[in-house]
């Protein structure tokens, strides 16, 4: 894909910092800070020409831009500290729109104990927002820690965002009882809740690149095979809607979602009950969706029992879906 090819070319120019702990294939940069603490850092950018969805407000953009950066920090075990925000502002944009954007940033900061440290304002032809988030961790969770026998969990079920994108991008009418607010203002677990699971987790990633691609990145980094179950991974309500309107819910969930910011993680099988007990105690939705085995790639067990390969496709920056 274009994004990954560009990343490869960039790292042909630079030498990797040997003191950076996770390497170039992860979604965050990680450095020791003192003797016991670890800095966890991420940058993410919103560009109106590629990322703007119909109905999105500037408040939503502020919220979503901050969540997209913070998600990678938290899923890796970083306790939120602060963020920096850089804006590109067209001269046609009103001060009120900029204020709305920062109200969205503020509300994410309030929910997650994040501080705005500063940033940069620039005049530009189109609107863009880059957010740098910084967190502090005692231990970081890599992508490459999954082992055969581990259980695969997620903090949400799938096909919800996929269906919302179909509705928004194709101008369709939402079905009854279908709320698309979560697409505009996605939620992630707070560190306070997520920290209860860190001692059990062997690998983690968020699903912002889509379910299929995110799981493939996890399997490739860990050099294992991941098998998910169709019956466990799909949200029953949205599965029912998809089938009523003639859409394949599994295809939607695997390949046509993205930016869900659902946490995907693996856990040693002996701690499966501990994770489910902790989830109930802190009121966090956690679902078992599959398992890790020897081999490579990602596979899905269909309802009739057959196993199918899950291809390495999903939400790619600059391409939307790399189908």
Q: What is the DSSP letter of 184?
A: H
Taking the C-alpha atoms of residue 310 and residue 317, their distance in angstroms, rounded to an integer, is 20
Residues 3-30 have a mean pLDDT of 86
Domain ranges of the chain: 2-137, 151-321
Cα dist from 227 to 201, 205, 322, whole Å? 17, 16, 22
Q: What is the DSSP letter of 176?
A: T
User: Confidence class of residue 321 from pLDDT cuts 50, 70 and 90?
Assistant: very low
Q: Please give the pLDDT value at position 251.
A: 92
Per-residue pLDDT tens for 159-203? Answer: 888 888 888 888 777 666 567 788 899 999 999 999 999 999 999
Token pair for 157: 């079920």
Taking the C-alpha atoms of residue 307 and residue 158, their distance in angstroms, rounded to an integer, is 19
Per-residue pLDDT tens for 282-307? Answer: 999 999 999 999 999 999 999 888 99
CATH 2.60.320.10 for domain 2-137: no
Tell me, yes or no, if the two domains 2-137 and 151-321 fold the same way: no
CATH 3.90.650.10 for domain 151-321: yes
Would you say residue 23 has pLDDT above 60?
yes
Does residue 310 contact residue 212 with C-beta atoms inside 8 Å?
A: yes
37 has which bridge partners? 33
Least Cα distance to 275 among 173, 199, 220 occurs for 199
Taking the C-alpha atoms of residue 131 and residue 183, their distance in angstroms, rounded to an integer, is 19
Residues 111-118 have a mean pLDDT of 98
Cα dist from 253 to 265, 278, 311, whole Å? 17, 27, 13
Query: pTM for the whole thing?
Result: 0.93
User: Confidence class of residue 323 from pLDDT cuts 50, 70 and 90?
Assistant: very low
User: Confidence class of residue 311 from pLDDT cuts 50, 70 and 90?
Assistant: very high
b vs e for 167-178, b when ≥16 Cβ sit within 10 Å of the residue's Cβ?
bbeeeeeeeeee
Per-residue pLDDT tens for 37-92? Answer: 999 999 999 999 989 888 899 999 999 999 999 999 999 999 999 999 999 999 99
């Amino acid at each position: 894909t274009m994004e990954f090819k560009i990343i490869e070319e960039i790292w042909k120019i630079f030498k990797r910092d040997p003191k950076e702990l996770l390497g170039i294939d992860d979604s965050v940069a990680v450095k020791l800070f003192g003797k016991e603490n670890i800095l966890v850092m991420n940058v993410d950018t919103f560009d109106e020409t590629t990322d703007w969805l119909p109905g999105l407000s500037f408040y939503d953009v502020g919220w979503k831009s901050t969540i997209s950066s913070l998600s990678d920090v938290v899923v890796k075990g970083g306790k939120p500290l602060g963020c920096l925000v850089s804006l590109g502002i067209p001269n046609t944009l009103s001060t009120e729109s900029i204020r709305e954007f920062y109200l969205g940033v503020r509300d994410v900061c309030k929910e997650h104990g994040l501080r705005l440290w500063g940033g940069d304002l620039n005049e530009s032809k189109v609107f863009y927002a880059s957010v740098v988030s910084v967190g502090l961790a005692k231990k970081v969770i890599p992508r490459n820690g999954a082992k055969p026998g581990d259980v695969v969990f997620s903090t949400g079920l799938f096909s919800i965002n996929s269906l919302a994108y179909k509705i928004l991008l194709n101008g369709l009418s939402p079905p009854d009882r279908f709320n698309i607010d979560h697409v505009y203002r996605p939620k992630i677990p707070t560190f306070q809740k997520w920290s209860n699971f860190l001692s059990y987790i062997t690998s983690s990633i968020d699903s912002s690149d889509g379910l299929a691609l995110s799981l493939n990145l996890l399997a490739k980094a860990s050099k294992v095979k991941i098998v998910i179950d169709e019956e466990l991974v799909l949200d029953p309500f949205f599965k029912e809607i998809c089938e009523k309107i003639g859409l394949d819910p599994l295809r939607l969930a695997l390949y046509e979602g993205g930016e869900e910011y659902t946490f995907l993680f693996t856990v040693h099988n002996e701690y499966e009950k501990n994770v489910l007990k902790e989830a109930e105690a802190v009121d966090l939705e956690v679902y078992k969706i599959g398992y890790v085995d020897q081999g490579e790639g990602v596979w899905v067990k269909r309802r009739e029992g057959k196993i199918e390969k899950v291809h390495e496709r999903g939400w790619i920056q600059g391409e939307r879906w790399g189908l």
